[in-house]
Amino acid sequence: MIRDEDIPLRNPSVEAHRVTGGAVLHDLGREQIFAVTALAREVWEHCDGNTPLRKIDRRVSDRADATLPTSPDGLRPVVSHLSDQDLLFVHRPDPVTDGGTPLGRGEQADGREAKTLNIVFGNHQVKVRTTAPRFERAVRRLFHGLIGRETDAETIDVLTAGKASDGFSVRTLQGYHAEKRLLVDAVQSLKRRVLLRFMEARRDLIWLHAGAAARDETAVLVAGPSGGGKSTTIADLCRSGWTHVSDDLTPYDPNTGRVVPLPVTIAYRQPSGNQSLEEEPSGLPKTHVHLEAGRLQDAPVRPEAVFFPSFEAGRPVEVEEQTAPGAAVSLVESCQNASRHRGDTVRELSQLAGRVSSFRLRHDGQTDMGGLLAPVLV
């Protein structure tokens, strides 16, 4: 049952196209289209994830050109219909229990108050609610550079995370539910959902499986598949004085030719004790690199070079120049949302590859990456 205090938010994978008498809503995620009335379009456009239904009702009713609802329930039937079609989602501002069940206002779960963390990327934010202190600390560590106070940014999702019967759980408004025995796995599941929402909300950007670091108003991209050494390279650069732009996922704006900061905490694998990188680096625990706010890039920056690292145990360490066509292919292969851009992605990334210097970086996991790259970054 939709309530006046409920807060609807637009599905970030949906685009609205106005037509006479209403609109067409295109869900790119499901590749479905829906015809809606002028009133439904008006309601959908007001669902920013921050405004309760009663305020939306008032705003729509105050518009002189709006078709007023005739139902005594106001806009509830409209919101309910859009919600049934997954064109928007509805969340309630109440605290939640560890299992995700809403509580009454001011109640607590197991003596703990629910905490809400706002993870902000530009004009969009994802809210994470939890009553589990360990989960809260892990999320704060992971998204240290993105967690902010309550803002006017559009809320694109609300995730509930906490203790489950045999570990930890993550739930979304869209019905996604994951239970993981280990905290690290649950946090990674939450990370994927948060980043997916940002990707859906910013389809104008090209999202690369890459990290980035900046210096003197320019940046380097470090791209490629998992296990190649992207995060290790970014960590070494930041230790040598560079600022952190992103780790593992980098938004590139083809309209400006710049990468947009997404400073998720750097996490890379390194050997310790009897462990070694000789066999398989993905099996090693991760080390987190904590940087102060001043070491986090806060503005888009133009890349000047791109590196494609690969881990090759027992092979000589070397950096060799990569041809622009080869770099373009590698960048396209690293694109995480190519289907959103189709042929445009190939064109935009080919232009990027033709504009920057590109290098293959082969390493054994024991090398100071920053020192290795210094000669070619002069």
Q: Are β-strands 357-363 and 302-311 bridged in parallel, bridged antiparallel, or unpaired?
A: parallel
Residue with the bigger pLDDT between 106 and 135: it is: 135
pLDDT band (50, 70, 90) for residue 104:
very low
Q: Which helix (H) or strand (E) holds 259?
A: strand 258-259
Q: What is the pTM of this model?
A: 0.83
For 86-209, where are the E strands, in sequence order? 88-91, 115-121, 124-130, 147-148, 154-164, 167-172, 177-180, 206-208
pLDDT tens sequence across 291-316: 888 889 999 999 999 999 888 776 77
Using DSSP's 3-state secondary structure scheme, residue 254 falls into coil
Euclidean distance between CA atoms 282 and 228, whole angstroms: 10
Query: Looking at residue 377, what DSSP letter applies?
Result: G
pLDDT tens sequence across 215-238: 988 999 999 888 888 888 898 889
Locate all alpha helices (DSSP H) within the chain, ordered by sequence: 38-46, 53-62, 76-84, 133-142, 183-201, 230-239, 324-334, 338-341, 343-355, 369-373
pLDDT tens sequence across 281-290: 444 456 778 7
Contact between 341 and 205 (Cβ < 8 Å): no
pLDDT of residue 140: 93
* Residue in 74, 105, 100, 99 with CA at minimum distance from that of residue 2: 74
Euclidean distance between CA atoms 363 and 370, whole angstroms: 12
Euclidean distance between CA atoms 311 and 296, whole angstroms: 27
Contact between 240 and 370 (Cβ < 8 Å): yes
pLDDT band (50, 70, 90) for residue 272:
very low
Percent of the chain topping pLDDT 90: 51
Residue 82, pLDDT > 90, answer: yes
- For the segment 34-51, the average pLDDT, to the nearest whole number, is 91
Residue with the bigger pLDDT between 368 and 109: it is: 368
Q: Are β-strands 154-164 and 124-130 bridged in parallel, bridged antiparallel, or unpaired?
A: parallel
pLDDT band (50, 70, 90) for residue 340:
low
Strand partners, 361: 309, 319
- Quick one: tokens of 358? 């590109």
pLDDT of residue 67: 53
Cβ-based neighbours of 75, under 8 Å, separated by 6 or more: 43, 53, 56, 57, 60, 69
pLDDT tens sequence across 157-213: 999 998 888 899 999 887 788 899 899 899 999 999 999 999 999 999 999 999 999
Euclidean distance between CA atoms 260 and 181, whole angstroms: 34
Q: Are β-strands 88-91 and 7-10 bridged in parallel, bridged antiparallel, or unpaired?
A: antiparallel
Contact between 147 and 140 (Cβ < 8 Å): yes
CA 77 to chain centre: 32
